[in-house]
Chains A and B, each alone.
Chain A
Amino acid sequence: MDLTYTPAQKAFRTKVRAWLKDNVPKERLKSYDTREGFEQHRAWEALLAGAGYSAVMWPKDLGGSGCDLTEWLIFEEEYWAADAPARVNQNGILLLGSTIMEFGTPEQKARFLPRMARCDDMWAQGWSEPNAGSDMAAISSRATRQGDKFILNGQKIWSTRAIFADWVFGLFRSDPTSSRHHGLSYILVPLNTPGITVRPIRAINGREHFAEIFFDDVEVSAENLIGAEGKGWHVAMATAGFERGLLLRSPARYQRSAQKLVDLYLRNQADADRDHSIRDAVLRAWQGAEAYTLSSYHTVGRLNKGAQIGAEASTNKIVWSELDILINETAMRILGQRAELIDDEEANDWLEGFLFAQAGPIYAGSNEIQRNIIAQRMLGLPKS
């Protein structure tokens, strides 16, 4: 155990910090759930990509910086500490990008990844269907093979930012005789293909956060198939692993929120201390963010030594989603009556965080599903 950074890691931190200091937009960007905000975020991420920072762990020739996991953690610490904008293309870069890196052909990597890193293409995730939420193996949208094409029919739902995105990656049933997780294929589809209709759904904050996507005889080239035909479940589970595990939610994000919470508490201490359980919640928020960070570094250390991380990723998902609720809920308690005010900028940031935190235990595989996975795969208990 050696918990000091190497000179090279320190130098990397210094370099990243300096770049962010010079480049992070001075004006806050608009919400990426609006057209204008979405384009602002796209421009920011293109700038990031220019420095190799939009997907730091990707190889340089694909638009990254070739960082290892420890450098990634350092990058994220600097990124959140600098209050740089939240990432709008993480579905693409973290989920699909990681998947293509693992399952894509060399042609697919060269075709999709550099464009993704620059945000030339923005990606939506098309997994959920009206009757296939937690039970994703119930997917019924079809992909019918015709020579070197697939014809897609069916419906996806809850697809985040699909109204602004350029592409969607989704799971389709390509073997009509199959059931459950067999016979599914993982296919990439341009959203401007004829036959696609994207209909926005307003989320709890009133904005058009996600969308339904309808496929009506949509033709797509078989070159857009990731992994083997009919083996899409296997590919998707790897993506889900990235989503729940280390990458989607880097710990620095919660450390920064906890830091802001400490700050908010200190500035409102006289009022907040009317209820001593608030101070306790602030301390617990710090503890949770720190424990999550330490766990991530521990996992990275184990991965560096060749360990495989499997179902344990599910514990991560539960921890970050519940931590996010604790942090934001505590801020709401400190703000008291200010908390509801939409025009109060500081209060509204927390309110938006509070609202989004409510979704954490639902998306990326609900926390109940994660608990099932832990019990059945880590502890070996039988299915009911």
Chain B
Amino acid sequence: MVTAVDAAAVVKPVAPQRGGLWRYILIRLVLIIPTVFILVTVVFLLMRVTGDPITAALGGKLPTDQLAERIHEAGYDRPLIVQYAEYIGGVFRGDFGNTITDGRPVVTILLQYGSATLELALYALIVAFVLGIPLGLLAAYRRDRWQDAALRIAAILGYATPIFFLGMVLKLIFSVGLGVLPASGRAGTRTELALQSLDGQTGIYLIDAIRLGRADAVGDVLWHAVLPALALGILTAGIFLRLVRTNVIGTLGSQYVTSARARGVGEYRLVTKHAYRPALIPIVTVIGLQIAVLLSGAVLTETTFEWKGIGFMLSEYLKARDFVAVQGIVVMIAVVVAVTNFIVDVVAALIDPRVRY
């Protein structure tokens, strides 16, 4: 069966129209603003459903008069529309307020922990590519045989298994059972200390470890990334596998592949040299969608492996009912997803001009 995505992959691109491309980019760019605006509004309202954030975080911990004082100081006793206007104004100025539980600027938290999540997402994407694409090609090459069936089942299991469950299973096997991989953290304590002493840290441990110039630190960082990257990457790998397989099979039915086959080109060469490149194009679009999946999955993976990134912090602040922090983090994730999708749309439009209309 050839899907719409497969068809997009196999149809030859038409000549791009410059004016159409710019118009498309402009429209997509303009659409981001209401999208983000709606997201911020929805998140703001959801965070107020259970009352003001001060009561949510500190209710029961402070005497009633002190609680009221804090609520007044923070302005949560004012009309909702006034609070909303202030919040929106703050967001546009890049000010997401201060957390309630530890008083830190939310922006600082976003900057400090965002790099850790970015690093994990990149590792997961590498896992997805390294596992998904070759196995997708293999499944296409061995289509309708037992290898294909096994890989398809594995792919379904990969993306159907809840991330936290997969993380726990990996941890139980490799950390608790076999004791060969670390169960938590982004690096060993001494490596973290060394990284902490580095001037101008990027927060991406692999880069910082390379800058540190110590092979053991780089190795330690990569070693700690294995399980979280697998837990998060296997889901996307399953999707990539299915996508590559379907598209390669579709491409194998196209005219130019048939011509190549008629010239006596072997099936293996057809798959690896003629069919896989066009089959990779839809993955660009899927990566955009997967960014949202990876970021939401990061909350569970980071929590399971104590990978101290944005997802981990979101979970911690949720537990503490610090809805100011939660609000800031969720808005940031929403903005990242919206912007990523914009970039993916533009890239997809560059690759395939038909998507502009």
A and B found bound together: no
Binding site for A on B (CB under 8 A): none
Residues of A within 8 A of B (CB): none
